[in-house]
Amino acid sequence: MQKEEIHQLIEKYLHNTASQEEIDSLFAWYRSELSAEVEWDLDEAEDEAHVKTMIFSKIVNDERISRRRYINPIYYAISIAASILLFLVAGLYYYSGNVTEQMAVADKVVAKAKPKDILPGGHKAILTLADGRKIVLDDSQNGIVINQNGINVHKNSNGIIEYTLTNQRKGAPDELADNAKVIYNTIETPVGGKFQLNLADGSKVWLNSASSLRFPVIFTDDTRQVELKGEAYFEVSRDIHRKFSVRSGNQSVEVLGTHFNINAYSDEPTITTTLIEGKVRVIELNTKESQILQPGEQSKVDRNIRIQRTTDTQTEVAWKDGYFYFENAPIETVMRQLGRWYGVTAKYEGVLPQHHFAGAISTNLTLLEVLEILEKSNVHFRLEGKEVVVMP
C-alpha cells in the first residue's frame, strides 16, 4: 500500500469510521511491517509521544482485536516497536479527540512492556567516626558536622567535607599533633555514589563509587598514611618533612606532593596507579619491589609491578569530572564501571564480538540511555531488573 493510503486508513481507524475490510487491510499491513527492515523518514514527525500512545491504545483496546485469531498476543510484548512503526507512517497526523481513558490504558500496557530505567548515581557517602557513629553525608546540612580532638568536620556549601583545625594560629598543627591522640575516621561511598573531602593537611581526595578511605583526623606521625579500598583521585598537599602514603591491598604509594589516581577495586585484575603530576614511588608490599612513576606513567600491580606510558591520563580520572571514559576497553571493563555506578550486574549470552570501546559518556545519563549509546557497536543489551544481559 502507498503511504497516503496508510495515512487514510489510520485516520479512519482512529475515528471509528473504517469498514471491516479497511481494518483487515490495515492489520495485514501492520503484521507485515513488524518483520520488515524499513528505514523511515522522521523529518515530518510531530507530537511523537501523543500519536504513538493513541495509535497503540486504540489497537490494544479495540474489542475487534480480541475476536480475530490472527492478532497474536505477541503484539502486546512488542508494543513499543509496533506503536513506533505506526507512528512513523502516520507522519504529520495529529489526533486531538477526547483520549484520556485510552491514554491511561496505553500507559499501563507500555509500562509493563518497557523495562524500568535506572537513574544515575550522585554525591553521597557515609562518614564513620572513631566512636562508631555514622553520619549520612548526602542528608546532612551544610556547616559543622562534628568536632573531634580540636578538629572541625565541616560540610561546605559545595558539599565537600573538610577537616580543619579549630586553632588556626601558625604552628598550631605541630602543637596539636604533639599532644593529640590519633583517631581515625572512614568515609565510604555506596554503589552509585561519589564524594570529595579535604583532609586536615590540606590534601584533597575524590572518592569514586563503592569505595572507602580510612584516615586520621589529623596527621601526627612523620608519615601521613591513609588506606584506600576502591578508587580515589588525590591532590596531595606538599610537605617536605612528612611523606604522604596510600595503602591499598598489596600496594603502597608514597609521595611528597602530587596528583594521582589509584584504582584498587577487588574485581579488577590489577591495582592501577596513574600519575598526573609530580613523582610517586609504588611499592609491592609482599616482595618489597618498588618503582618510580613519572607524569603520564601508569603502574599495574598484582604480584609484581609493571610500568607503562599512557597516552591519555584522562581515561583514568574522567570519573571525577562526571564521565565514563573508555580507551580500547573490552565490554567486561565497561560493564564493571556501569555496575558500580548504577548498581547492576552483568550476564553474558552467546559469543560476543571482540569489540573494544573508545570515547566518553556522561555519568548523568540513565542506564538505558547509556546502553543505547553502547549499542551503536555490535553489542546489544537487555535490562532485567538489576541485571544487564549482554548479547551479540
pLDDT tens, residue by residue, 358-390: 888 999 999 999 999 999 887 899 999 999 999
Q: Is the pLDDT of residue 213 over 90?
A: yes
Q: Is the pLDDT of residue 73 over 90?
A: no
Cβ-contact 176, 218 below 8 angstroms: yes
Q: CA 86: distance to chain centroid?
A: 34
Q: What is the pLDDT of residues 276-335, one digit of tens each?
A: 999 999 999 999 999 999 999 999 998 889 999 876 788 889 999 899 998 889 999 999
Bigger pLDDT: 45 or 119? Answer: 119
| For range 344-360, the mean pLDDT | 87
Per-residue model confidence (pLDDT) at position 221 = 77
Under the banding of pLDDT at 50, 70 and 90, the label for residue 57 is: very low
- Residue 21 β-bridge partners: none
Output the average pLDDT for the chain: 77
| For range 6-28, the mean pLDDT | 74
Under the banding of pLDDT at 50, 70 and 90, the label for residue 214 is: very high
Q: Is the pLDDT of residue 118 over 60?
A: yes
Q: Is the pLDDT of residue 171 over 50?
A: no
Bigger pLDDT: 321 or 57? Answer: 321
Q: Is the pLDDT of residue 119 over 80?
A: yes
Grid cell for residue 345: 550486574
User: For the chain, what percent of residues have pLDDT higher than 90?
Assistant: 45
The lowest-confidence range among 97-101, 107-111, 279-283, 306-310 is 97-101
C-alpha dihedral, 136 to 141 to 143 to 147, nearest 10°: -40
Please report where in the chains the cell 552483568 appears, as a residue: 346
Cβ-contact 177, 200 below 8 angstroms: no
The lowest-confidence range among 124-128, 202-206, 228-232, 310-314 is 310-314
- Tell me the C-alpha to C-alpha distance, in Å, between residue 63 and each of 17, 21, 58, 72, 95: 15, 16, 10, 14, 20
Per-residue model confidence (pLDDT) at position 222 = 82
Cβ-contact 127, 91 below 8 angstroms: no
Domains in the chain, start-ordered, CATH in brackets? Answer: 3-113 (no CATH), 122-316 (2.60.120.1440), 322-391 (3.55.50.30)
Per-residue model confidence (pLDDT) at position 137 = 87
Per-residue model confidence (pLDDT) at position 47 = 41
Under the banding of pLDDT at 50, 70 and 90, the label for residue 1 is: low
Bigger pLDDT: 201 or 34? Answer: 201
The lowest-confidence range among 84-88, 270-274, 338-342, 383-387 is 84-88
Per-residue model confidence (pLDDT) at position 167 = 58
Q: Is the pLDDT of residue 30 over 80?
A: no
The lowest-confidence range among 110-119, 231-240, 248-257 is 110-119
| For range 187-206, the mean pLDDT | 95
Q: Is the pLDDT of residue 208 over 90?
A: yes
Cβ-contact 7, 93 below 8 angstroms: yes
DSSP character at residue 254: E
- Residue 244 β-bridge partners: 224, 255
